[in-house]
Amino acid sequence: MSRRPITRRDFLKAAAVAPLAGAALPALSRPSPAAADKVRVVLVRDPSPLGPGGAPPAEVVQRMLDDGVRALLGEKDVVKAWKSLIRPEDIVGIKTNAWRYIPTTAEVEGAIKRRVMDAGVAEDRIGIDDRGVLRNPVFQNATALVNARPMRSHYWAGVGSLIKNYIMFTPQPSDWHGDSCADLAKIWDLPIVKGKTRLNVLVMFTPLFQSVGPHNYAKEYTWEYKGLILSRDPVAADATGLRVIQAKRKAYFGDDRPLPVTPHHIRLADTRHGLGTSDPGRIELVKIGWAEGALI
């Protein structure tokens, strides 16, 4: 027998305990873990001006990435840190995102590639791709993936972020759109990606917090947050990025306005698919750098 549907009334009950906010569904309480059991997420920000492509200068991005990886892995030497992620014999796919309005940016792609090479991987064994991953020999043969994409609101999934970034590893991405993309985490079980992701980088330079129009974009609904969120756990990184988006919506709209589509694929990636951790109480957030306007 199928489960009872979750209805608006379940939200209304839960609202007495916690306000209705985009990702909040009637929830799932678990015991508070010890700090050591928490999943680490690093937020690193820098106030440097953004260039025309929407990223800070390349050297700033490199520094942000390096600081973030060091903090994430607790390793002072950034190359040693990367060597703990990537082996010289790996074939490495850097899964990027080429969305016209807010791409991953060449600066982030370049910074990651440089450190993958520093870890000992030959350049011809490194690929950077988005929509062509299924046809790209590097990705077809990849032994390691680095997942890097921007955070943005999304008409159908609530938000487009790291979990969703792997949808291009499926032949028919629209097959995963059911129930507001609820089961995107299952993509991470496909052989082409399963167990290969070494690092997730959620790009938060100019996040989009509200979707409008066919193209899902208006510059008015972006802001210069100038951050990167890093984690080994894509769910924890996405859940943290979502908190930033929700905080920005509250600041902008002046109320707790939920995203029109609940990004429940993030919660379900945890509770249904076991891909990672979505509960902020189980996430250790380490913040580095520019603190003004961090929102979380």
Partner 1 sequence: MCAQAVPPAQRLASLIPAAVGPWLSEAEETYGPESIFEYIDGAGEVYRAYAMRLLAARRFHKDGRPDIVVDVFDMGSSADAYGVFTHDLDGEDAAIGQGSTYKAGLLGFWKDRYFVSVTAEAETPETRAAVLELGREIAAAIPGRGEPPGLVGRLPREGLEAGTVRFFHTAPILNYFFFVADENILLLGPETDAVLAEYGGPGGRSRLLLVSYPQADGAARAAGSFRRAYLRDAAGEEAVRTENGKWTAVRTMGRTVAVVFDAGSAAEAAARLAAVEKRL
Residues at the interface with partner 1 (CB under 8 A): 4-9, 11-13, 15-16, 99, 101, 154-156, 160, 173-174, 177, 179-180, 211-221, 260-262, 264
Shortest separation between residue 252's beta carbon and partner 1, angstroms:
12
Choice between 25 and 58, CB closer to partner 1: 25
Q: In whole angstroms, what is the distance from residue 276 CA to residue 221 CA?
A: 29
Choice between 5 and 254, CB closer to partner 1: 5
Shortest separation between residue 101's beta carbon and partner 1, angstroms:
8
Q: In whole angstroms, what is the distance from residue 248 CA to residue 245 CA?
A: 5
Return the SS3 of 284.
strand
Amino acid at 162: L
Question: What angle is formed at CA 101 by the lines to CA 135 and CA 22, rounded to 5 degrees?
Answer: 95
Shortest separation between residue 197's beta carbon and partner 1, angstroms:
22
CA end-to-end distance (rounded Å), the chain = 41
Shortest separation between residue 156's beta carbon and partner 1, angstroms:
5
Shortest separation between residue 239's beta carbon and partner 1, angstroms:
19
DSSP 145: E
Choice between 82 and 217, CB closer to partner 1: 217
Choice between 173 and 293, CB closer to partner 1: 173
Helix (H) or strand (E) holding 283: strand 283-289
Cα 217 to Cα 206, 214, 291: the distances in Å are 12, 8, 27
CB burial class (10 A; 0-12, 13-18, 19+) of residue 143? middle
Choice between 84 and 180, CB closer to partner 1: 180
Shortest separation between residue 166's beta carbon and partner 1, angstroms:
14
Choice between 223 and 290, CB closer to partner 1: 223
